[in-house]
Amino acid sequence: MESSKQDLLRHIPSVDAVLQQTEAAWHAAGVPRRILVEAVRAAVAHARQLVASEPAVSSDKQSLRDTIVDQVNRRVQAAAGPHYRKAINATGIILHTALGRAVLPARAIRQIQEELSGYSLVQVDVATGKRSKRDERIEWLLQQLTGAEAATVVNNNAAATVVVLSTVAAGREVIVSRGQLVEIGGSFRLPDVMAAAGAKLVEVGTTNKTHLRDYERAITENTAAILRVHPSNYKISGFTAEVPLAPLVQLGHARGLVVIDDVGAGPLVDFSRFGFAPEPTLPESVRTGADLITSSADKLIGGSQGGIILGRAPLVQAVRKNPLARIVRPGKLTLAALEATLTLFLDESLALREVPTLRMLSRGPAELGEQAERIAQAVAQRVPGEPVSVVDGCSQMGSGSLPTQELPTRLVSVTAPSVSPQELARRLRQLNPPVFVRVHKGQVLLDPRTLLEGEEAEVEESLVTVLTAGE
């Protein structure tokens, strides 16, 4: 056996030999030589490791060479192709953080492609030729949609919170209910965000109950603001109490404090029409009288990643002048995509049709059931004997939005007797484009709610591919 291994090791081609065999084709495809060299080195090293470690290996030297070349091709394809590329979301999680959260409206994509492919208007007044506000159009749209006196935008809601607190409360106290001390994705915690802004956190109330008197007792001469945080990524139920925004506004204004409302996911429309419990909206917060309001632009608004800041004009202007605002300002791609998305909301019926997040939410179980049945039947016809069925299930909003609230849906259930559900899900992820699904109770589950136009046929083909692999 040892002599067989030594014989195979001697016949493993050198890096240069493999390069000579593969370089011409990959050069013609425009692949940088550095990527190819690294792929060849890794493939040859893998072959040596395989031969040395396996208790029994094939004596077919040609097969070994073919395996090396196949490894090279796989590694080159993985390294040379874009990492940020299309994926199919069949999980039913509408705002899937790992898959880029909200799907941008087609109008936003067109605007980026058509208007920003060269030089573009970002920060100049065409009438005067002078420098203008980069967020001028975004401000106008948000004024129209929310009734706010002024508005600006930064690169995410955490940044919005930091720059707002840094502007109005640096070195001073900010009162927050204990039940609202949230932790967002990536282990970012509100107390840490406040510390980064230079604000001193003053906790009031308890985890489950906070009363107006708790806020009143906590106010001192060093208090700058009251911060209300909508806990959009969790729910506290049972024996609970929290203070609505209106009494906090009354208290804050009576005591000369800035009232900040972090709305979180930041809807512009009432989501109760989709079967969800009522959620605070940006227009409601403005009407209630909050001085500064922050929210995400890429969650329930369905736009590009950004952090929206609304409020009284003098305060928003002060935020703009904060040096941190420049550090966290968005680029032209974000601004263009957000502009296109917000423009759709000027006609709510148009937004419901064209903003993918809203369109996904509006799909009912009957429509979803029809699509699930089409997928299941198409797969069953091409792969007879494989258990493919349609079952009841629930979709989720995701990304810390509308927690514990689910939407009824119909799911395609796939079970392959010869393949574990985890392996089946892995095979689907390895396809181009990768298909992401749920695995639950021994089943691979696909939710048509999060499939985009044209993806139904791709999903069918993907399922057939992985179910027939190895046949």
Neighbouring residues of 303: CB distance < 8 A, sequence distance ≥ 6? 102, 104, 108, 297, 337, 338, 341, 342
Q: How confident is the model at residue 398 (pLDDT cuts 50, 70, 90)?
A: confident
User: pLDDT tens for residues 46-72?
Assistant: 888 877 776 555 556 777 778 888 888
Assigned CATH class of 106-350 = alpha beta
> What is the model's pLDDT at position 30?
86
Tell me what the pLDDT averaged over the chain comes to: 89
User: pLDDT tens for residues 209-245?
Assistant: 999 999 999 999 999 999 999 876 667 777 888 899 9
> What is the model's pLDDT at position 1?
45
For the chain, the straight-line distance linking the first and the last C-alpha, in angstroms and rounded, comes to 32
- CATH architecture of the domain covering 88-98+360-467: Alpha-Beta Complex (3.90)
Give kind and range of the element (H or E) at residue 173.
Answer: strand 173-177
| String of DSSP letters for 267-314 | -SS-GGGGTPPP---HHHHHHHT-SEEEEESSSSS--SS-EEEEE-HH
pTM passes above 0.85: yes
pLDDT at 306 > cutoff 80: yes
Q: How confident is the model at residue 463 (pLDDT cuts 50, 70, 90)?
A: very high
3-state DSSP assignment of residue 208: coil
Mean pLDDT of 450-469: 93
Contact 326, 313 (CB under 8 A): no
Ordered by start, the domain boundaries in the chain are 2-80, 88-98+360-467, 106-350
Q: Determine the residue type at 350.
A: L
According to DSSP, the residues that pair with 401 across neighbouring strands are 398
Share of the chain above pLDDT 70, in %: 95
> What is the model's pLDDT at position 54?
64
